[in-house]
Chain A
């Protein structure tokens, strides 16, 4: 006979509680009187003892679940050789706990298995799917490649949604008739011109949707005074030979890139990436720079920026941008990177915030340096001020850390001599 184990009432007035942790796991043999779980209310933490003996057949309410109503079945005890009955347990109290609120709960919850807390389905699931991994059979991949069908467009009819040969074959015969069906909404006027997306546009659309819908963006802005940096730039550029291999011409952007790299060394907590249940620390500072190209954008990477001189950074940027604009970048030159910078200064933009490039966790949006009134001491003066805004992935970078980074960034830019070392 299978018995449901119910959420106990720890006091006559208790209506619900939190299932703190399980001390037994599915399949364990339980004897009467053994403590099998811990329950917490806002008043106390209590142990739950088994009343009968048997085998813990199935746990319905995972550790860390809050708001479990009294008398809700939390598990079922079965006899040896018995199967878990299907009707056992109506787990209506499995309200998945709010993701990312582990911080306040952590100190007092003696329950060590914090990995359980991070696991609750909502957060984990959304991270799982859009990492861009296409599940397709080897044959389907081959055929798709051969006929230039983008597997990301296909729905798989194989096991677990796998794309199989028949899906690719069906897509082949359907042909590129898709443009017409793509925007069949009543609000688009019939005379509207429908232009099929290029591959790059599709990738941008997919990745940015993924970024904006799965990453909790958090923004911090500072106004940075550029006067010292502009003066240094002037001095350094004057020291360049007029022409030849050693000639250089530093741009403000080159210097801001180096400033960001130095800041990432000093506040390495932003040189990270989100992974399920982990924070991945990049081993080097590789900065992706957003470059606008016809009908899109691309982000060539300068690697180990912190170890390069301003001149090296500047020359590399010129080469990458030139090749980016004619589509001659190699995949390893734009795939990867640990942090991004986007600069709209050339458009006279006063401020903007950028979208994070997953799997990175931060992107700095640099706007135009403009003459603005500034306060020096107690008097009004004029300075060249630029508003910089950083967007960070709040799953792995907290607001305070982002603020700290911006503060350091500003001090590096405003005392730019450190860029030269």
Chain B
């Protein structure tokens, strides 16, 4: 193989793309990555990772203002906002460098530029790459994986304007810590930013067009999150309609209509977090059998597009828009290319985590979705107030909820809110993946004292009754 001829070329170096390349290298395929911006994609650089670094800082700020219950007193706790932000950028830089190192170790060449499909030579596909430092190159590959990810959806009137209106991008490198902040959209992204800024001291108003925040989560969890955020001083408006923004010199005013009526509200900054669109432009899809449906590339359950030998994974390929979904699709796709037996990914086994405070985590069917699907359910609930570790930590607010199929004992879904739940959810994900029933979960010995024990109690609660509540 020459330096431009490969078994596989991956366009996009985010959690989908770079994982595909690493797995391909493990399976001894010759592979290259084409990346136009930064390795690690949005996740590492402008998404998952920097937000978690920031949220850690806001968690610390919360503790700093809550020291008395632990017996501490600190005069004038303060922070340097620029340093808080700088730390998150440094973390991103470190991890992006880490991905570069992994690819180098695996001897995967990385072409810094933008790639697109450009026909084939009868035997292999051609990929035209416009290199960042000038010039072009042509790669050839038997297989191509499109992993170009997604970007923020822009609603008319809410275009990022370099001053008042932010997308997630600007929200991660803010020019100021806004005194008054409007967050539009209460999915994971909007909710995390709302939580971060609130806990750093901004007055935050969170707006959602649906009738509850975190609309994909279980209703009970949405309700508990809403109550918790309001207790923290966040203003939340659901079933809300937004009028046009009117931008002044230093601030922006907007009309918001809810069931209660219309309010005129003024803010220093606005974050628009209303969903994403796939990066399907300029990929050379036009003369191929690849179909695009509402900004996402259509694929089958094994990530194949309509064009033989071309695959699409991650955010560009559709929901759920999660880095771990992209990574698993990457592995599945590459293993299939290498001829290994694979199974399609079961969406009901993919967890979703939101790192606001309190954290939210879930996997599988909500109670409502389970019932709508025709299941007879058994539901278990266990509140953190019954958990010794949670109280010892000073985090007594939270809930673990399980949904079981009454007939077979299958764990249909699990939903949690509270401290550390994003780290705990994997236990339930393992249970769903391994097709464990309530019997095995009941038998599992959780260590004491941990917040995780509430997961065990929530299973008991669905059957014999919790012991500690």
A-to-B contact residues, CB < 8 Å: 86, 137-140, 142-143, 146, 157, 164-165
Contacts and interface: CB of A to CB of B under 8 A. Distances in A.
The 9 A-B pairs of least Cβ separation, nearest first, read A137-B435, A139-B435, A138-B437, A142-B408, A139-B410, A143-B408, A138-B440, A138-B436, A139-B437
Nearest to B405: A139
Interface in B430-447: 434-437, 439-440
A86 B410 CA distance: 43
Q: Which of A138, A140, A146, A157 has the most CB of B within 10 A?
A: A138
Contact of A164 (B435, B439, B440): B435
Interface string B409-445: 1100000000000000000000000111101100000
B435 A165 contact: yes
Interface string B323-354: 00000000000000000000100000000000
A393 B440 CA distance: 39
Contacts of A146: 407-408
Contacts of A139: 408-410, 435-437
A84 to B, nearest CB: 13
B28 interface: yes
A142 B437 contact: yes
Given A143-B408, A157-B343, A165-B435, 16 more contacts: A86-B28, A137-B434, A137-B435, A138-B434, A138-B436, A138-B439, A138-B440, A139-B408, A139-B410, A139-B436, A140-B435, A142-B408, A142-B409, A142-B437, A146-B407, A146-B408
Contacts of A157: 343
Nearest to A165: B435
Interface of B is mostly: loop
Contacts of A86: 28
Nearest to B432: A139
20 contacts: A86-B28, A137-B436, A138-B434, A138-B435, A138-B436, A138-B437, A138-B440, A139-B409, A139-B410, A139-B437, A140-B435, A142-B408, A142-B437, A143-B408, A146-B407, A146-B408, A157-B343, A164-B435, A165-B410, A165-B435
Interface in B384-419: 407-410
Nearest to A140: B435
B439 to A, nearest CB: 7
A137 B434 CA distance: 7
A139 B437 CA distance: 6
Q: Which of B408, B409, B439 has the most CB of A within 10 A?
A: B408
Interface of B: 28, 343, 407-410, 434-437, 439-440
B341 to A, nearest CB: 9
Contacts of A138: 434-437, 439-440
A308 to B, nearest CB: 41
Nearest to B439: A138
A67 B406 CA distance: 61
Nearest to B441: A138
A165 B440 CA distance: 16
A119 B61 CA distance: 63
Nearest to B436: A138
Nearest to B346: A166
Contacts of A140: 435
A164 B436 CA distance: 11
A87 B407 CA distance: 52
Nearest to A139: B435
Nearest to A163: B435
Contacts of B409: 139, 142
A127 B409 CA distance: 34
A165 B433 CA distance: 11
Nearest to B407: A146
B428 to A, nearest CB: 14
Contacts of B439: 138
A143 B410 CA distance: 10
A410 to B, nearest CB: 54
Contacts of B407: 146
B21 to A, nearest CB: 18
Contacts of B434: 137-138
A165 B435 CA distance: 8
B150 to A, nearest CB: 30
Contacts of B410: 139, 142, 165
B353 to A, nearest CB: 25
B172 to A, nearest CB: 39
A411 to B, nearest CB: 55
A360 to B, nearest CB: 33
Contacts of B343: 157
Q: Which of A139, A142, A143 has the most CB of B within 10 A?
A: A139
A142 B435 CA distance: 10
Contacts of A165: 410, 435
Q: Which of B28, B407, B410, B435 has the most CB of A within 10 A?
A: B435
B196 to A, nearest CB: 39
A248 B435 CA distance: 56
B283 to A, nearest CB: 34
Contacts of B435: 137-140, 164-165
Contacts of A142: 408-410, 437
A165 B410 CA distance: 10
Nearest to A145: B408
A137 B349 CA distance: 15
A142 B28 CA distance: 40
B455 to A, nearest CB: 17
Contacts of B437: 138-139, 142
A407 to B, nearest CB: 53
A142 B410 CA distance: 9
A139 to B, nearest CB: 4
B56 to A, nearest CB: 36
B368 to A, nearest CB: 22
A191 B343 CA distance: 42
A146 B440 CA distance: 18
Contacts of B436: 137-139
A138 B411 CA distance: 12
A86 B407 CA distance: 49
B340 to A, nearest CB: 12
A140 B408 CA distance: 9
Nearest to A162: B435
A57 to B, nearest CB: 17
B29 to A, nearest CB: 13
B110 to A, nearest CB: 22
A317 to B, nearest CB: 40
A230 B302 CA distance: 75
A203 B434 CA distance: 29
A88 B22 CA distance: 23
